[in-house]
Amino acid sequence: MADRDFYQTLGVPRNASQQDIQRAYRKLARQYHPDVNSDPAAAERFKDVSEAYDVLSDPETRSRYDAFGPDFRQAPEGMDPQTWRRAQAGARARERAGAGAGARGGPGGRGPGFSYTAGGGDVDIDELFGGLFGSRGGRGAHGWGPVPGADQTSDIQLTVEDAYHGTHRAIRLAGDDGTRTVEVTIPPGVTEGQRIRVAGQGGRGSDGARSGDLYLAVRIAPHAHYRLDGRDLYVELRLAPWEAALGTSVTVPTPGGDASVTVPTGTSCGRRLRLRGRGLPNPRGEPGDLYAEAKIMVPPQPTDAEQDLFERLAAVSTFDPRRRR
Taking CA atoms, 218 is separated from 7, 70, 97, 239, in Å, by 21, 21, 42, 34
**156/271 Cα distance (integer angstroms):** 34
Measure the CA–CA gap between 10 and 28, rounded to whole angstroms.
Answer: 8
State residue 165's pLDDT score: 94
Same topology between domain 148-222 and domain 226-316: yes
At 153, which amino acid appears?
Answer: T
* Cβ pair 131, 191 in contact under 8 A: no
Q: What's the pLDDT at 311?
A: 92
Q: How far apart are CA 10 and CA 42, in angstroms?
A: 14
Q: What is the CATH number of domain 226-316?
A: 2.60.260.20
Q: Which CATH number fits domain 148-222: 3.40.50.10860, 3.40.50.880, 2.60.260.20, 3.40.190.10?
A: 2.60.260.20
CB 291 within 8 A of CB 237: no
Question: Alpha carbon of 192 to those of 155, 217, 241, 283: distances in Å?
Answer: 11, 8, 36, 15
Task: Indicate yes or no: pTM above 0.85.
Answer: no
From CA 58, how far away is CA 196, in angstroms rounded? Answer: 12
- In order along its 325 residues, the chain shows pLDDT tens digits of 446 789 999 999 999 888 888 888 888 888 888 777 888 888 888 888 888 888 888 888 888 888 888 888 877 766 777 777 777 777 777 667 665 554 444 444 444 433 433 344 444 444 444 444 444 444 444 444 566 777 788 888 999 999 999 999 898 887 666 788 888 999 999 998 888 888 888 877 777 777 888 888 899 999 999 999 989 999 999 999 999 999 999 999 999 999 999 999 999 999 999 999 999 999 888 899 999 999 999 999 999 999 999 999 999 988 888 887 6
Residue 107 has a pLDDT of 43
First vs last Cα of the chain: how many Å apart?
Answer: 52
Domain boundaries of the chain, sorted by first residue: 148-222, 226-316
Predicted local confidence at residue 99, as pLDDT? 59
Q: What is the pLDDT of residue 12?
A: 92
Which residues lie closer than 8 Å to 76 by C-beta, 6 or more apart? 130, 210
